[in-house]
Structures are given as C-alpha cells and as structure tokens.
Amino acid sequence: MQQQRTGQLNCSGCNVALAYPLGAPSVRCPICTVVTPVQQIQVTCVTCRCSLLLPANTSLAMCPRCRTVMAVPASVSQSALQQAIGPTKQCVYIERPTTKDASGKKISRLCIGTKLDDDQ
C-alpha cells in the first residue's frame, strides 16, 4: 500500500491546523466549514527553466519535464508559509472504538476539536 503524502496549513476561518493530501486545491475545515485555498509557490526549474507550482511547504521538487531534482530554498517556502494569520491552534482528534449497526456495517466515531490554552 502506498502512503499518501500530506501537507499542513491553517484554516482561514478558525486558524486551526489542517492536514490535506498534496495536490488538493483547497481544504474545508471540519470545525467551522470554511474553505481555505492551499498556498502555493512558483519555482523555475534550474535546468529547463519551466515554471513549477508547488505546495508552500515543499523542500525538494522534481521537474516533470526534464526530471531534474532540485532543492527549494527555505527562504522561498517559508515566506509563503508566514502569510498564515495568527498563531496555530492545536487540533485534537478523539476516535472511539468502532461499532457495528444492525446490518453489520462498521461505524466509526470521530470527534474533532481545538485544544484550549488551559488544557494540559
């Protein structure tokens, strides 16, 4: 099974940290339902000079045209990430054991919330 790669950004509504699959154009917050566009950076390939659009938290990129692997300077990727508004709130996931309904189908129970500053 291939592992799915994910990125992280802050919700533009409630500022909670959200994980998303790489390549997603936007993410809907499960807490406040605001849709936040994924921040992207534009980088030029050092070999063939084609333009690449990458998620803001990318450190390495491979050009699909010439297959050159290049490092994305931290100053480029970090400047896009610093556009997030305010401090990040920690997202808490609580998953209760799965149960089965009358037909035998598994029912997953997941609760999502934000960690308060006074929580330990």
* 119 in any annotated domain: no
Tell me which residue range forms the domain holding 107. Answer: 6-114
Q: Of 98 and 94, which is predicted with more confidence?
A: 98
Closest CA to 45 of 23, 26, 63, 18: 63
Closest CA to 52 of 36, 33, 78, 71: 71
Closest CA to 22 of 51, 59, 47: 59
pLDDT at position 98, please? 80
* 94 in any annotated domain: yes
Instruction: Convert the pLDDT of each residue in 65-97 to its tens digit.
Output: 898 888 877 766 555 555 544 455 566 666 677
Contact in structure between 74 and 50 (CB atoms under 8 Å): no
pLDDT at position 40, please? 76
pLDDT at 44 over 50: yes
* 120 in any annotated domain: no
pLDDT at position 1, please? 45
* 15 in any annotated domain: yes
* 1 in any annotated domain: no
* 41 in any annotated domain: yes
Residue 77 burial (CB count, 10 A): 21
* 17 in any annotated domain: yes
Phi, psi of 77 (to 5 degrees): -70, -35
Extract the tokens encoding 70. Answer: 């290049």
* 49 in any annotated domain: yes
The whole-model pTM stands at 0.41
Q: What is the domain count for the chain?
A: 1
Amino acid identity for residue 62 in this structure: M
Q: Kindly tell me the number of DSSP H helices and DSSP E strands found in the chain.
A: 1, 10
Contact in structure between 55 and 44 (CB atoms under 8 Å): no
pLDDT at position 84, please? 45
